[in-house]
Amino acid sequence: MDNKIKWNSDQYQKNYNFVYAYGSDVMKWLAPKSGEKILDLGCGTGQLTNELASFGVDVIGMDSSQEMVDKAKENYPHLDFVRGNASDFEYQSSFDAVFSNAVLHWVFPPERAVECIFNVLKEGGRFIAEFGGKNNVKMILDALRTSMENRKFPMADPKKLWFFPSIGRYTSILEGAGFQVIKAEHIDRPTELNDPERGIKDWFEMFGEYFFRDLSSVEKENVLKDIQEILRPTHFKDGKWFADYKRLRIKALKP
């Protein structure tokens, strides 16, 4: 995960368990086999690393956040977790697969991350990933921009925080690094948020604090109130808040 924000691992594990819950579905593309060596890149608090281990896999979890690594070790002390940057890592030994869920939209430059992944895979090794795709949280960001403009606050560039590529853009990066792309999907996935009261506000406090670094606590709260009111007609249904997620899912092989 990226170092532009400081992760609250307890809050992440408690309120954003849907992140790794959806990752279980991505694992079907991975189809892990007993005895394989797999890298869980951006392991967060370790739930999917543990699920991989249940298949008899020799798995290592890596995350750039020390807070996440510490929580993962606390959760699963029998597994191996290390701190590492997805765009700058290497290993002496090679992996049969690299698995990554809800991480790579945080990683810059994406080309360097793909190169690192390619280099640690064995020949015939596979790379399976899901992360934010083109137009991910577009309506949420549009609401943020509207509030910032109305209140005359400068807005930080989302492209400096997140990378939400199209299928074409990302498969070109993969092929440029030497990968053979086997399958790619762009998925429209409205995702329920756990807090029925603060929904979008809480989402920003977890993932988007970057946008409020130059605002006072009062100014920030006013913008968050604006955003929820703008989005209420579209993102609040049956007493629940939803985020307009778009996900990119990829399967690629190292020839």
What are the DSSP calls for 78-123, one per residue?
A: TSEEEE-BTTB---SS-EEEEEEES-GGG-SSHHHHHHHHHHHEEE
Distance, in Å, from the CA atom of 62 to the CA atom of 67, rounded to the nearest integer, reads: 12
Which residue shows structure tokens 């080309």? Answer: 111
pLDDT of residue 3 exceeding 50, the answer is no
Domains of the chain as residue ranges with CATH? 9-137+162-195+245-253 (3.40.50.150)
- For every residue of 58-75, DSSP letters joined together read EEEEEES-HHHHHHHHHH
Mean pLDDT of the chain: 92
Higher-pLDDT residue of 84 and 9 is 84
First to last CA, the chain: 27
pLDDT tier at 80, thresholds 50, 70, 90:
very high
Q: What is the mean pLDDT of residues 93-113?
A: 96
What is the reported pLDDT for 19?
A: 57
Q: What is the mean pLDDT of residues 159-168?
A: 97
pLDDT of residue 195 exceeding 90, the answer is no
pLDDT of residue 2 exceeding 50, the answer is no
Higher-pLDDT residue of 165 and 10 is 165
Q: What is the mean pLDDT of residues 38-44?
A: 96
What is the reported pLDDT for 79?
A: 98
What is the reported pLDDT for 194?
A: 83
Point out which residues pair with 190 in neighbouring strands. Answer: 244
Q: What is the mean pLDDT of residues 140-148?
A: 98
What is the reported pLDDT for 206?
A: 86
